[in-house]
Amino acid sequence: KVKAQPDWWREVFLLSAGSSVTVPKNVQDLINTLLPFDAGAADMPLTTDVPTWVSIAAQALVETNFEYHVRQESTPGGFTAVYRRVQHWLQRIMTADTLLPAATRAEAGQWLARLSDNRPGVGIDPQTGLPNIIWSAEIPAGTYTIGDDKSDYDDEKPRQVIIKRPFRLARYPITNVQYQSFIDAADRDDREWWVDIPADEQKFSEPGFPYANHPRETVSWYQALAFCRWLNDKLRRGLLQNKALAGGDYELRLPHEYEWEVAARWPNQTVEERIYPWGTEFDAAKANTYEGDRIGQTTSVGIYPAGKNVALELYDLSGNVWEWCLNKYSQPEETAVDNSSRVLRGGAWYSSQFNARAAYRFGYDPDNRNNYLGFRVVVVRRSPSH
């Protein structure tokens, strides 16, 4: 009956689960009845009604604090199996951008945030308590063409820039849970992270959309810089484990806008080939911008897979949140820490396709904190003299 009339029976199902809060086996049985197949089952197609069933199952797990019983299993058993099944279904729904509307995928992402999003690159390494970051393939040093030959803005005209050192960009913007690891760190207030940064920047604002797997926003350039200094220290001490970086000598920081745009356009043979990270034409189904479903807020990272840069596996470069870059807006070659306006790239959930172009430059004062300002990080190979 739940499957036949899901909205009508949602409350009945949740009441049944709630009455069994002290008997987790009953909750397990209820969800096994509603959702008996794994997300990868060949005979379980992703029909339009499946997201409703999955959201009911997820809500039941959240409202009965089912995760507690999962943690009590000494070895993974039935509780773990049903919990992971719902997680996997939510992940499948989130990334089904050719089958399901963005609003449906966004809701699935919010439920997964409540159950713990274990996708690589989204959360925290359980062994270290540090952000688990997945890096792109390495982009070599060299001379690259950036800009937009159709733009009326002088600072967007096609031009060549020099990338002095190979680099890798993070797959996703830094998420709420990843940034929280810095806020909660015992060494958060160490002076070395906050050199040349105003003292009041050590007072943090709550994110506007606090789901763990959403990009961290309401964060200033100064605070993004401090996070990078802190995480770079962990990288230098060998605490930030990642196979992609094995054997290399890297510095972790905010990307320079040239690095950001080169990555967004990669492989950028000509400026015409990559007006957006996915190609030449805007598609509202490929980014969280004003033109799409108008979700009206950030979304879980990675729910627009058709909008990724395929060659580098980079998500959310267009839309979701503006991304702080290292350099000054009026003096792009300058990166010194002061109160100069800083570059933002990529557009955001409230902005238009024009802002989401790879070439578009935006600037804000470094102390600005809004619910559409976020960042991602880069690792750059150190020079041989380091």
Residues 142-156 pLDDT 10s: 999 999 877 778 888
Q: What is the pLDDT of residue 98?
A: 83
The residue that leads in pLDDT, 146 or 49, is 146
Nearest to 179 by CA among 223, 222, 127: 223
Out of 4-13, 118-127, 264-273, least confident range? 4-13
Helix, strand, coil shares of the chain as percentages rounded to 5? Answer: 35, 15, 55
Q: Is the pLDDT of residue 1 over 60?
A: no
Q: Rounded to whole angstroms, how far apart are CA atoms 357 and 361?
A: 9
For 97-107, write each residue's pLDDT tens digit: 888 999 999 99
For residues 198 and 219, is the Cβ–Cβ distance under 8 A?
no
Q: Rounded to whole angstroms, how far apart are CA atoms 94 and 301?
A: 10
Using CA atoms of 76, 78, 81, 84 in order, give the dihedral in degrees to the nearest 10.
Answer: -90
Tokens of 244: 């992609």
Phi, psi of 236 (to 5 degrees): -65, -30
Which overall architecture, per CATH, does domain 142-381 show? Alpha-Beta Complex (3.90)
Nearest to 60 by CA among 117, 114, 119: 114
Please, which residues bridge with residue 314 across strands?
309
Among positive and negative, which fits the CA dihedral 173, 177, 181, 182? Answer: positive
- Give me the amino acid identity at 263: A
Residue 297 CB-density burial (10 A; 0-12 exposed, 13-18 middle, 19+ buried): middle
Q: Is the pLDDT of residue 241 over 90?
A: no
CB proximity list for 156: less than 8 A, separation 6 or greater: 147, 148, 359, 360, 361
Tokens of 324: 């702080």
| Strand-strand pairing, 250-253 and 159-163 | unpaired
Q: What is the DSSP letter of 135?
A: B
- Give me the amino acid identity at 109: G
- H-helix or E-strand spanning residue 108: helix 102-115
Question: Mean pLDDT of all residues in the chain?
Answer: 93
Phi, psi of 251 (to 5 degrees): -115, 135
Please state the domain extents for the chain: 6-115, 142-381
For residues 316 and 172, is the Cβ–Cβ distance under 8 A?
yes
pLDDT bracket for residue 308 (50, 70, 90): very high
Q: Is the pLDDT of residue 15 over 90?
A: no
Cα 94 to its chain centre, rounded Å, is 13
Phi, psi of 34 (to 5 degrees): -75, -35
Looking up tokens 């279904």 gives 89
Q: Is the pLDDT of residue 339 over 80?
A: yes
For 208-223, write each residue's pLDDT tens digit: 999 999 999 999 999 9
For residues 289 and 349, is the Cβ–Cβ distance under 8 A?
yes
pTM of the model: 0.94
Phi, psi of 167 (to 5 degrees): -150, 165
348 — alpha (psi -120 to 50), left (phi > 0) or beta? Answer: beta
For residues 71 and 21, is the Cβ–Cβ distance under 8 A?
no
For 62-76, write each residue's pLDDT tens digit: 999 999 999 999 999
Q: What is the pLDDT of residue 386?
A: 43
Angle of the 50-63 helix axis to the 78-94 helix axis, nearest 10: 130
Q: Rounded to whole angstroms, how far apart are CA atoms 153 and 164?
A: 26
Q: Rounded to whole angstroms, how far apart are CA atoms 303 and 92?
A: 10
Q: Rounded to whole angstroms, how far apart are CA atoms 368 and 385?
A: 36
Cα 102 to its chain centre, rounded Å, is 16
Helix (H, G, I), strand (E, B) or coil at 88: helix
